[in-house]
Amino acid sequence: MNTVIAFDRVRIAKDERFNIEYLSQYELLLLLNQNSFSISVVDTLDHRCLYFEEFEIFDSNTIEVLDEIFDSHHFLKAGYWKKIKFSQFNNKFTLIPNGLFIEENAFDYLDLVTDLQVGFDKVLVYQHEKSTMTCIFSVEYSVYQWITQFYQTKKVQFIHPASSEIEMLLTSKAQETKEVIDLNFSTKYFSISFKKNGKLEFANIFEYDTVDDVLYFVFAVFEALQVDILQLTCNFYGAIDIQSPIFTQIKAIVKSCKFGQKPKQIQFAHYFDELQQYRHNNVWALYLC
């Protein structure tokens, strides 16, 4: 009888200072992406990353995969973390100015810009203090229910990946005064976040199949925002590398292109040196929220 493999651990890094006796001062960061699940632990006393682990997911039944991963894990079942933050990638989000936001209308705001399904989508909110915006987003209701029941004794903070990217752009790069754009890639989607004069000007997620799709959206945003190419710094994150035609073609036009780095607010010892800094930023950026 053939055994179906639901997931596989593809990366792990651990600081020798990690100690399960001190979980009450640790922040647990969880990111559920399209085909992966990432875990990171940060010590809130010295803002030091102590653990990172990534699983590749092969099964479409997300709840069963989470059940297996958590059931076999040596510390995920603990409930006495200082904070637990959970993020699920999707393109169902919108930003509303805080002054115009009415919480009881959250579902209606989001339903205007995306296709919400009653019983499938759980609508949540996150307030960005630095940008005076509120992010309204959804997670799968089954995932929301599963994770909140798993950590019944602890309130789980839900954050959309777009929010963690925005916080990274506004907080970790506050010293950059020129126009700054972050491009963050996953398997079928990529996000664009743009800051000018220290303020968020644009944030959105686009679906793509080809290089041309990406270039079309990127340069359409440049044109719509009247981006000054000569003043622009373009940071790349996620599932992309230096050989990618996406990177090479954008760099041919935007000279200041580079791959992003880990958040400066988090310390990383040499145990994490082999991890590509720009690939796993979405999970670490949750610490900034």
pLDDT tens digits, residue range 159-196?
999 999 999 888 865 566 688 999 999 888 999 999 98
246-282 pLDDT tens trace: 999 999 999 899 999 889 899 999 999 999 889 999 9
1: confidence class by pLDDT, cuts 50, 70, 90:
very low
pLDDT tens digits, one per residue of 195-206: 988 889 999 999
Assess whether pLDDT exceeds 90 at residue 111.
Answer: yes
Q: Are 236 and 257 in contact (CB under 8 A)?
A: yes
With CA atoms as reference, report the closest residue to 29 among 81, 86, 80, 74: 86
Q: What is the pLDDT of residue 4?
A: 67
Number of Cβ within a 10 Å radius of residue 88? 24
DSSP summary character for residue 210: S
What domains can you pick out in the chain, each with its CATH number? 7-81 (no CATH), 93-159 (no CATH), 175-262 (3.30.420.260)
pLDDT at 74 over 60: yes
Mean pLDDT, the chain, integer? 92
Spatial distance between the Cα atoms of 27 and 54, rounded to a whole number of angstroms: 17
Strand arrangement of the beta sheet that strand 179-185 belongs to? 199-207, 189-196, 179-185, 232-238, 257-259
